[in-house]
Structure 1
Amino acid sequence: MGLLLIEEERRSVEGEGICAAIIVAAGQGKRMGGKTRKQFLMLEGKEILAHTVERFEQFSKIKEIVLVTGQDDIECIKEMARNYGWKKISAVVCGGKERQDSVKCGLKALSLSSEIVLIHDGVRPFVKEDMINRSIDAARIFDGCVLGVPAKDTIKICDKDGMVVETPERSKLWHIQTPQTFSRKLIEKAYEKAEKDGFIGTDDASVAEFYGAKIKVIQGSYQNIKITTREDILVGACFLEEERE
């Protein structure tokens, strides 16, 4: 597969039933502050997005990567791909107004032979190969699979005035992560139904649930964080140092 083969129509990639990753990096990163979007902030000398992409470049079961970003960042990411020597990027496409729109753009750019799709946050750079392998295995059995970790803290449901309405049982609560993994055919149909019915989900799994899919949660990692604030960058630097040791 060549580097950055960006075309109008979806291509056929050598081999059948391949596993593909859609990495979504179209966010504005408003909670981070500053002018640089968070996916391009530096973490230990490398862009956060670069750390994320290189994980998937190294995972043997991933044969194709589609990157979704903002229109203004497409050329920047193409240049990053060339500089870092990424080999699995099949397309870099412009996302939409909402994350859900961006994922739809990524799905349209997949090769014709992609069978299993992993949808991942571009600013979640600490995913491990074991998580990927287990996610793919689960997606071949269930309608879909998401990574998650049990909630450590008590969660309160509050009304608009901040008054507690309910305290859910903590043992049933999970913090959901990415990648979220599905049969390509199922998640495409789920997004088609969501668009037709005007449904906006909070993540890909909620779109699949709206379609009627049964989603399996499997164990992720408390290190598989989404870098959202500057404090997360400090934590991420510690994780990288731990990996080096």
Structure 2
Amino acid sequence: MQRLFALSILLGILQGVLPFVVRPSVHRCVGACRANVVLRAETDLSDVGVVVLAGGTGSRMKANMPKQFLPLLNKPILTYSLNLFLKNLTPSTVILVMNKQYHPEYQSWVDNSNGKLHFAEPGVERQGSVSNGLQKLTEVNSSLKYIAVHDSARPLVTINEVNKVVADAKKHGAAVLGVKCKATIKRSLDGEFVTETIPRSTLWEIHTPQVIEIPLLRKGFEKVEKEGLEVTDDASIVEQLGEKVKLTEGEYTNLKITTPEDLEVAGSILRERGGV
């Protein structure tokens, strides 16, 4: 009798005749899953050049090598996002900003059979590394219209996220991947006591890639260098011009590996994805 009842419920779900009992929860599950797996239509990246930043030291990882070279499921962190651009997406040119001493080591890890990959030297700070990457990018391919700057320490970025942020940049001139801030953020002027609580509804955590029209970024660099301004990311350079930067909502899984704990979390996510 119990088996018959269970069978009738299952049949009802399949036939759609139990909306008031089961289908709402099933619908929510399907909707949530669908949001994660359905990809946006591919965006044309033929006029987009990619600059992957791999010049950091990663001091907070407490390792004997830069963090982007640490193993993640038996492959260097850097190779995940780099191979995404080289194999699975269609940019004509990819610039890897990395110290020369590591170039030979990465020939065995990265497939450059299509000749897309070129190298540039890192600067003292991120701003200098992006500038060097931009210069090399335009030397290699002067016909490019957009630059996409990506941190090599973000190995979990997806094809869907890249497509979305590139599409937004082509519409608005500049776009950055990000997620709405979930944590409560407080400001402290003395480092000991709370000065104020910042409204969470206005805050976004910014990720990469950050995609910008090349002439716009060049103009921003001119202003920043002329006035001696300090900026923390590529979008900030555009903001100095008073230009708008589109926020493209990405995934919380696009984390930046900064600590050993981040490495463990990234490994778990990759295993859920099947190691890719």
Distance 1:27 1:47, change over 3 A: same
**Residue pairs, 1:13-92, within 5 angstroms:** 18-78=47-107, 80-81=109-110, 84-85=111-112, 87=114, 89-92=116-119
- Residue type matched to 1:219 in 2? E
> Of 122, 142, 149, which aligns to 1:95?
122
Secondary structure at 2:61's aligned position in 1?
coil
* Greater RCO, CA 8 A, separation 6+: 1
- Offset of 1:17 from its aligned partner? 6.1
2:46–2:92 Cα contact (<8 Å) kept? no
- Larger displacement relative to structure 2 (155-164 or 106-115): 155-164
> Of 126, 131, 150, which aligns to 2:156?
126
Aligned-residue RMSD, C-alpha: 1.8
Cα distance between partner residues in 2 of 1:23 and 1:85: 14
Deviations 1:2-52 (A, max 9, x none): xxxxxxxxxxxxxx9611110000000001012111011000010000111
**Residue pairs, 1:133-148, within 5 angstroms:** 133-148=163-178
Normalised by the size of structure 2, how large is the TM-score?
A: 0.78
Secondary structure at 1:225's aligned position in 2?
coil
Is the strand fraction higher in 1 or 2? Answer: 1
- Larger displacement relative to structure 2 (159-168 or 116-125): 159-168
- Offset of 1:55 from its aligned partner? 1.3
Pair member with larger Rg: 2
How many residues align? The count is 228
> Of 184, 204, 225, which aligns to 2:255?
225
Cα distance between partner residues in 1 of 2:192 and 2:251: 30
Is the helix fraction higher in 1 or 2? Answer: 2
1:17–1:116 Cα contact (<8 Å) kept? no
- Percent of counterpart pairs with the same letter? 35
- Residue type matched to 2:94 in 1? I
- Offset of 1:244 from its aligned partner? 1.0
Secondary structure at 2:150's aligned position in 1?
strand
Deviations 1:190-242 (A, max 9, x none): 11221111111111111110122210111111100111111111111111111
- Offset of 1:168 from its aligned partner? 1.0
Cα distance between partner residues in 2 of 1:54 and 1:155: 35
Secondary structure at 1:109's aligned position in 2?
helix
Distance 1:136 1:180, change over 3 A: same
> Which runs of 4 or more aligned residues in structure 1 lie more than 4 Å from their structure 2 counterparts after TM superposition?
none
Deviations 1:162-208 (A, max 9, x none): 22112111111111000001111111211122111111111111111
Unaligned runs of 5+ in 2: 1-44
Q: Which residue is 1:156 aligned to?
A: 186
Cα distance between partner residues in 1 of 2:173 and 2:112: 34
Normalised by the size of structure 1, how large is the TM-score?
A: 0.87
1:78–1:92 Cα contact (<8 Å) kept? no
Distance 1:240 1:142, change over 3 A: same
- Larger displacement relative to structure 2 (68-77 or 115-124): 68-77
- Larger displacement relative to structure 2 (71-80 or 233-242): 71-80
Distance 1:78 1:185, change over 3 A: farther
Distance 1:70 1:160, change over 3 A: farther
